Amino acid sequence: MRRSATVPAGSSRRRPRLRGGRRLRLLLAGALAGSTLAPGLAVPPAQAAGTGFAGSGISAYGGATDYGGFSGQTVPSPLVAMAAPPGGKGYWVTAADGSVYGFGDASDHGSMAGKPLQAPVVGMASTPDGLGYWLVASDGGVFSFGDARFYGSTGAIKLNQPVVGMASTPDGKGYWLVASDGGIFSFGDARFFGSAANENLGAGVVAMARTPDGGGYWMVAATGGVLTFGDATSYGPDPNKPPFSPTADIVATADGKGYWLLRPDEVETSFGDPGDPGGSALGRSIVAVAESQVGPDPDFTSGPYCNPYGPCEEWCALFATWVWGQRGVAIPRYAFVGDVYDWGSARGLTRSPTTMPSPGDFVLFGTGPENVATSPHMGIVAQVWPDGAVATVEGDAGPEPAGDYAVVVNGPFLPAYSRGYNGFPVYAWVQP
């Protein structure tokens, strides 16, 4: 594996939260969406924390070859997408900070690692010869590497919803960007065939990939369940039973006889500073404790909502207040999210959702603290981007069946678009 470091020219009464929220990521395999790389920097060793989900972050099915993954490693930012060079024997994985990790013969063409980004990277596409690729950020900014040419972006356009992925045309002379509302933006020789901007995309699907002849496609849910259409063949996982490691992406092999699934929560994430202006030693220590808990609920076999942070009840607030308590914050172990808001408000620690949070802050979802319907869920801010996008660690969340939820990483997502991404808006931050 190589990492690229160079630059180019209580109550949690909520519906199941799927990684990537409710977005549909467009990944036309063969026009793979993914990431970019750098010359041979090793990923830092895993910290003592570790993730409770077993795996290397990448799972191969059918004729897809396992070229390696992230076992025993730590990455500085959440993994968001992957891609494979057409006809190659390898793949790239990209993270929100623009780092690109190469496996097999996926060659290094550069990355955005260590360079200032206004918004997190969310997707990637390979050129037809595999000698270049594009990265796209959530604001629609496009970064070209190798023989990939720049054909335009939405970086200067005010978007209704953030960009969540991209796909290149077969000849590599254009690409499409897709937004979380299904809106499509075409550049170069990419033709516009319509969009899903006014349709209800539903919940559960996080990515799709097409077969080599275009006669079918796969869709994958956050649970890792793969749906087949047309001439697409299912290669697993079968059966796919809880506990689920949330799935974020699917990439097909060049011959369509297999595919890879990207499972970011199997990989340690240190949540490095992507250029956010805030942050404190206390906040960073809170994030470290929260990240150390990522994984399936170890008590789920004891009954619905049984968890290690309190009694057998919905436990997002129990988890979050437990984490703060581990770092000496004198907050009661609340079970109801609204009580957390009231506690913060009484101490002058609540902040408007339009302000910039800091790592270690609580994020409260809903419309207000009145009751479980208006204050259904909460988590802990783990990473903040200059444009305000956040990654969070949340308990009692994920694609598990109700009552068997896990501790998962969510995002990055823009708080202003949380209703579409997570199913409900952000109504407050609370500082430790």
pLDDT tens per residue across all 432 residues of the chain: 544 433 232 333 333 343 344 333 333 333 333 332 333 333 333 333 445 787 889 999 999 999 999 998 899 899 999 999 987 789 999 999 999 999 999 999 999 998 888 889 988 989 989 999 999 998 899 999 999 999 999 877 888 778 888 888 878 898 888 777 767 788 998 877 766 566 554 445 577 777 777 677 776 776 777 878 788 898 988 656 666 778 888 888 988 899 999 999 999 888 887 765 567 899 999 999 999 999 888 887 888 899 999 999 999 999 999 999 999 999 999 999 999 999 999 999 999 999 999 999 999 999 999 999 999 999 999 999 998 999 999 999 987 666 678 899 998 999 998 987 888 999 999 999
Helix H or strand E segment including 317: helix 316-326
Q: Give every CB contact of residue 93 below 8 A, 6+ residues apart in sequence.
A: 34, 35, 57, 58, 70, 79, 81, 82, 100, 101, 103, 262
Neighbours of 150 (CB within 10 A): 14
Asked if residue 204 belongs to a domain, the reply is no
Domain housing 361:
273-430
Give the C-alpha distances (Å, rounded to integers) separating 37 from 5, 91, 110. 7, 10, 5
pLDDT at 423: 84
Does residue 59 contact residue 25 with C-beta atoms inside 8 Å? no
CATH code assigned at 410? 3.90.1720
Q: Which two tokens stand for residue 65?
A: 């070859």
Q: How far is the C-alpha of 321 from the C-alpha of 290, rounded, in Å?
A: 10
pLDDT at 149: 96
Asked if residue 413 belongs to a domain, the reply is yes
Give the C-alpha distances (Å, rounded to integers) separating 51 from 74, 300, 301. 10, 17, 19
Give the C-alpha distances (Å, rounded to integers) separating 414 from 30, 388, 421, 426. 29, 6, 9, 10
CA atoms within 13 A on the CB side of 307: 28
pLDDT at 13: 33
Q: How many domains does the chain have?
A: 1
Residue 78 has φ and ψ, to the nearest 5°, of: -55, 140
Asked if residue 155 belongs to a domain, the reply is no
Does residue 25 contact residue 184 with C-beta atoms inside 8 Å? no
Asked if residue 351 belongs to a domain, the reply is yes
How far apart, in Å, do the first and last CA atoms of the chain sit? Answer: 38
Asked if residue 6 belongs to a domain, the reply is no
Asked if residue 331 belongs to a domain, the reply is yes
Look at residue 38 and give its three-state secondary structure.
Answer: coil
pLDDT at 28: 35
Asked if residue 341 belongs to a domain, the reply is yes
Asked if residue 416 belongs to a domain, the reply is yes
pLDDT at 260: 93
